[in-house]
Amino acid sequence: MPVNDALNFFNRYKGEGMSERSGDGLVNRVAVDVGGTFTDIVMLRGSTQFSAKILTSADAPERAVITGISDVLNQAGLTFNDIDALILGTTLATNALIERKGARTALITTAGFRDLVEIGQEDRFAQYDVFLQKPRPLVEREWRFTVEERIDAQGQVRIPLKEEQVVALAEELRAQKFESVAIGYLQSFINPQHEQRTAEILRDLLPGVTVSLSSDVCPEIREYERLSTVSANAYVQPLVAGYLHRLQQQLATHGLRVPPYLMTSGGGITTLENGIREPVRLVESGPAGGAILASNIASQLGLEKVLSFDMGGTTAKICFIDRFQPQISRSFEFGRVHRHQKGSGLPIRIPVIDLVEIGAGGGSIARIDHLQRLQVGPDSAGSSPGPVSYNLGGELVTITDANAQLGLLDPASFAGGKVELNVDKAAAALAQQVGKPLGVGTDEAALAVTEIIAENMANAARVHATESGKQVDSYTLIAFGGAAPLHAVRLASKLGIGRVVIPHAAGVGSALGFLWAPVSYQAVRSFYQRLDNPDYAAVNALLDTLSDQARHIVQQADETASVSLLRSVYLRYAGQGHEVSVPLEGAHFDEQGLAALHARFTQTYRQLYGRSLDHVAVEAISWTVTATTAAPEIAFPAPGEPLARTNGVAERTLYSLQQQQRIQVPVLTRADIEHGGLRSGPLVVVDPETTTLVDEHFTVSSTREGHLLLERQPQSGAAQ
């Protein structure tokens, strides 16, 4: 069966580690991001960048990967044998979950609890919508089976596992031709022996069927989330294993001599072997690359507090990055029935970079609702038919149309000249769909569209900051993705942010970010403890187990690197429902460590909520250990060839928010900014892939590294 073969296959690579060899001294690093539509490939040869973008081959993603890598290798005159590091990100797992194209999967639960994974939280994600439909569980009721067993909250066996029922069930699973099985018993994170024994029996009787245990994939309290996570893992495992297996073989055939690595949702990379074991951790790996890229730029510029802002065609994503580390969360929702509506998807609990996704991109549609209010997004015209101005049949006004009308986009060179914009069409549609109902002119209508979308993004960022206990106005915005540089100054102004960086790689996809990802793995276990009376020995034993597990998995990828361990505890006041992650210092947990932990919790809680509750007991819910290697020290790619200098001769007419009229502004290139020093807005800076708007309130200059630095003018206090 593919999975076991694949595991054996990967084992042969053990011990090779990440070599840093190259004939001419230049190291060749390749990153590949397999997206739903496009596969992006980036290669850094030393600090020279090569890239390619080709259509994803959905039926066999490895084909596009091989073709794309060959393409960048050709550009540099290299072969697969010259590759020193290869990192792969994939949306294969995500797409299989969303499109429900995973394996025929059975879920086995404790008798009496067949429906937990469907009952979920018993709530409705939209209060006033009596016609809502909940997301279907991955494993429907007829494929959910139960076995008599019960372990209690203390880990004691209340009902021994009825092994004969497991044996009988194996026959039924075989007869019904299941490809994958998820096992999720109650309280299994405390005592996994029943799950393990069940798996043993099934693996014995059903060779070739993949088996996922909730106590392996998600050893955390809260049965719904754990069952949902293990179901997702089982559901995508055969598919992901098959793909990785085929890919691995083809890479080897083409002469790759290093083991490839996989990007995970948590921002670290891992071995293919581990990716097959826990494919659910590969979900959302693509967007993680963008946050890592921003972290790397933050580190390059020494910016300790950064808000990354990635805006493309359909969505915008924001992420807080403190001291060069993206904020990490332990929960994620996939397949939301209502776009961007919390609670309308299915939960998975994995370490994931905490990105907030907003339905705001170049293709977001603007319309007037029945309260005569202008609404923008979350619906998107996508790339087909796309905005009205693409002239491809799109009839609904989008943000790109508004930007074209405002004079912010050069119709001839939009998206590197790939699309020619028809501004007249955009203007007519804006006037008809927005201007007329609001009783304003076309320019005002266009401006209203961009203002509302900036407001939507700012609101999402503020709420996320409140949830995360951060003062957003003390952050620097790093804006990248095709649409972000146009909207960055307005977003910054609304958030009270005074500094914006537009990296010179602003238009590049997230693949580039993969190259700076460390090898890492987070192990977790729920273990309830009251801090007023902790069982030190038990906690230390648990931490040791988690440390060994995490270190072992990281060392499989890189035996020689030094591994650092970061422990943390999820704490709350007794009776609360949300936990706060607090780092646990020191290798051994004792009374001193407890006092420090308590103090740190109080401090973190104060920072988040403005006060602490010193008379309420504190309880620990979950414990994590993250093993990680140092991030690779790789030079950021040198800026690509910028557009030629214009010396400010070129001008463009655009509609100014501040002056409420059309004004002439200079059109500059990065080369102009690099040579010309500090310039004050209003002006635009054009790049092959993007345009940056610098309004009256900001100045622009170039950093040593070639990034654009926008700073609020000192006299410009008010945001409006």
Partner 1 sequence: MSQQVIQSQVIWNRLISVVEEQAQALIRTAFGTATREAGDLSAGVFLPDGRMIAQAVTGTPGHVNSMAESVKHFLREFPLDTLQPGDVLLTNDPWKGTGHLYDITMVTPVFHHQRPVALFASTLHVIDIGGLGPGPDGQQIWHEGLFLPILKFIHAGRLDQTVLNIVKANVREPAQVEGDFLALVACNDVGARRLLTLLDEFALTDLLEVGDYILTRSEQAMLEAVRSWPAGSWESELWVDGYDQPLRLQAKLTLSHDGIHVDFAGSAGFVAKGINVVKAYTDAYTSFGIRCLIGADIPNNAGSLGVIKIDAPEGSILNAPYPAAVTSRHIIGQMLPDVVFNCLRQARPGEVPAEGASCLWNIQLSGGHILPEYDAVNTLTQPRFSITSFSTGGTGARPRLDGLSTTSFPSGVRNVSLEILESISPVVFWRKEYRQDSGGAGQQRGGLGQVIELSHGQDLPMELGAAWDRIHFPAQGAEGGLAGAPGRVTLSTGETLSGKGRQIVPPGSHLIVETPGGGGLGNPLERHAASIARDLTHQLISPQAAATSYGHSAQSTNKTE
Instruction: Kindly write out the interface string for residues 615-654 of this chain, putting x where it contacts partner 1 by CB under 8 A and - elsewhere.
Output: xx--------------------------------------
Examine residue 369 and tell whether it contacts partner 1 (CB under 8 A): yes
Tell me whether residue 393 or residue 441 sits nearer to partner 1 (CB atom): 441
Q: Which stretch binds partner 1 (CB under 8 A): 112-120, 314-322, 390-398, 694-702?
A: 112-120
Distance of CA 581 to the CA centre of its chain: 19
Interacting positions 50-69 with partner 1 (CB under 8 A): none
Interacting positions 165-184 with partner 1 (CB under 8 A): none
331, amino acid identity: S
Examine residue 719 and tell whether it contacts partner 1 (CB under 8 A): yes
Residue 494: both structure tokens together: 């609304």
Residue 214: both structure tokens together: 């909730």
In sequence order, which residues have a C-beta less than 8 Å from that of residue 140 and are 6 or more positions away? none
Residue whose C-alpha is closest to residue 286's, from 33, 31, 29? 33
Angle at CA of residue 227, ends 225 and 233, nearest 5°: 100
Instruction: Kindly write out the interface string for residues 446-485 of this chain, putting x where it contacts partner 1 by CB under 8 A and - elsewhere.
Output: -xx--xx--xx--x--xx--xx------------------
Distance of CA 562 to the CA centre of its chain: 26
Tell the burial category of 54 from Cβ atoms under 10 Å away from its Cβ (0-12, 13-18, 19+). middle
- Cα distance between residue 447 and residue 406, in whole Å: 7
- For residue 523, give the 3-state DSSP assignment: strand
**Cβ-count burial 197-225 (b if 16+ within 10 Å, e if not):** bbbebbbeebeebbbbbbbbbbbbbbbbb
Residue 102: both structure tokens together: 């995973």
Instruction: Kindly write out the interface string for residues 128-157 of this chain, putting x where it contacts partner 1 by CB under 8 A and - elsewhere.
Output: xxxxxxx-----xxx-------x-xx----
Examine residue 610 and tell whether it contacts partner 1 (CB under 8 A): yes
Q: Which stretch binds partner 1 (CB under 8 A): 3-11, 199-207, 364-372, 548-556?
A: 364-372
Interacting positions 185-204 with partner 1 (CB under 8 A): 186-187
Tell me whether residue 560 or residue 720 sits nearer to partner 1 (CB atom): 720
- Cα distance between residue 473 and residue 205, in whole Å: 60
Of 371, 412, 537, 644, which one interacts with partner 1 (CB under 8 A)? 371
Q: Please write down the HEC assignment for all residues of 153-206.
A: CCCCEEECCCHHHHHHHHHHHHHCCCCEEEEECCCCCCCCHHHHHHHHHHHHHC
Tell me whether residue 187 or residue 389 sits nearer to partner 1 (CB atom): 187
The DSSP element (H or E) to which 31 belongs, if any, is strand 28-34
Estimate the share of the chain in helix, then strand, then coil, as percent rounded to the nearest 5. 35, 25, 40
Q: Measured from the CB of residue 301, what is the shortest distance to partner 1 in angstroms?
A: 28
Interacting positions 570-589 with partner 1 (CB under 8 A): 573, 575-578
User: Do 186 and 151 contact (CB within 8 A), yes or no?
Assistant: yes
Q: Measured from the CB of residue 133, what is the shortest distance to partner 1 in angstroms?
A: 7
Tell the burial category of 84 from Cβ atoms under 10 Å away from its Cβ (0-12, 13-18, 19+). middle
User: Do 245 and 233 contact (CB within 8 A), yes or no?
Assistant: no
Q: Measured from the CB of residue 179, what is the shortest distance to partner 1 in angstroms?
A: 20
Residue whose C-alpha is closest to residue 73's, from 103, 106, 44, 33? 44
Angle at CA of residue 213, ends 11 and 343, nearest 5°: 115
Count, residues near partner 1 per rule CB under 8 A = 73
Ramachandran angles phi, psi of 241, nearest 5°: -60, -45
Examine residue 121 and tell whether it contacts partner 1 (CB under 8 A): yes
Q: Which stretch binds partner 1 (CB under 8 A): 207-215, 423-431, 484-492, 608-616?
A: 608-616
Examine residue 609 and tell whether it contacts partner 1 (CB under 8 A): yes
Q: Measured from the CB of residue 191, what is the shortest distance to partner 1 in angstroms?
A: 12
Examine residue 611 and tell whether it contacts partner 1 (CB under 8 A): yes
Q: Which stretch binds partner 1 (CB under 8 A): 124-132, 323-331, 507-515, 707-715?
A: 124-132
Q: Measured from the CB of residue 188, what is the shortest distance to partner 1 in angstroms?
A: 10
Interacting positions 649-688 with partner 1 (CB under 8 A): 660
Q: Measured from the CB of residue 142, what is the shortest distance to partner 1 in angstroms?
A: 5
Of 15, 20, 81, 119, which one interacts with partner 1 (CB under 8 A)? 119
Q: Measured from the CB of residue 500, what is the shortest distance to partner 1 in angstroms?
A: 18
Q: Which stretch binds partner 1 (CB under 8 A): 35-43, 276-284, 368-376, 395-403?
A: 368-376
Instruction: Kindly write out the interface string for residues 385-404 of this chain, putting x where it contacts partner 1 by CB under 8 A and - elsewhere.
Output: --------------------
Tell me whether residue 11 or residue 660 sits nearer to partner 1 (CB atom): 660
Residue whose C-alpha is closest to residue 637's, from 51, 33, 32, 86? 51
Tell me whether residue 169 or residue 484 sits nearer to partner 1 (CB atom): 169
Q: Measured from the CB of residue 399, what is the shortest distance to partner 1 in angstroms?
A: 16
Interacting positions 265-324 with partner 1 (CB under 8 A): none
Q: Measured from the CB of residue 160, what is the shortest distance to partner 1 in angstroms?
A: 15
Q: How many CA atoms lie within 13 A of 90 on its CB side?
A: 32
Q: Which stretch binds partner 1 (CB under 8 A): 109-117, 327-335, 505-513, 698-706?
A: 109-117
Instruction: Kindly write out the interface string for residues 515-534 of this chain, putting x where it contacts partner 1 by CB under 8 A and - elsewhere.
Output: -------------x------
Q: Measured from the CB of residue 162, what is the shortest distance to partner 1 in angstroms?
A: 15
Name beta bridge partners: 320. 307
Instruction: Kindly write out the interface string for residues 412-441 of this chain, putting x where it contacts partner 1 by CB under 8 A and - elsewhere.
Output: --------------------------xxxx
State whether the Cα torsion 486-490-492-497 is positive or negative.
positive
Tell me whether residue 512 or residue 569 sits nearer to partner 1 (CB atom): 569
First to last CA, the chain: 63
Tell me whether residue 562 or residue 661 sits nearer to partner 1 (CB atom): 661
Of 16, 99, 115, 544, which one interacts with partner 1 (CB under 8 A)? 115
User: Do 82 and 50 contact (CB within 8 A), yes or no?
Assistant: no
Tell me whether residue 578 or residue 704 sits nearer to partner 1 (CB atom): 578
Residues in the chain: 720
In sequence order, which residues have a C-beta less than 8 Å from that of residue 403 and are 6 or more positions away? 362, 409, 446, 450, 486
Of 221, 428, 634, 643, which one interacts with partner 1 (CB under 8 A)? 221
Strands of 257-339 (E only): list them. Answer: 261-263, 269-271, 305-311, 316-322, 325-326, 328-329, 332-334
- Cα distance between residue 199 and residue 185, in whole Å: 12
Tell me whether residue 221 or residue 594 sits nearer to partner 1 (CB atom): 221
Examine residue 496 and tell whether it contacts partner 1 (CB under 8 A): yes
Q: Which stretch binds partner 1 (CB under 8 A): 72-80, 111-119, 300-308, 633-641?
A: 111-119
Residue whose C-alpha is closest to residue 376's, from 395, 361, 393? 361
Q: Measured from the CB of residue 319, what is the shortest distance to partner 1 in angstroms?
A: 18
Alpha carbon separation from 375 to 338, 361, 449 (Å, rounded): 16, 14, 8
- Cα distance between residue 462 and residue 431, in whole Å: 32
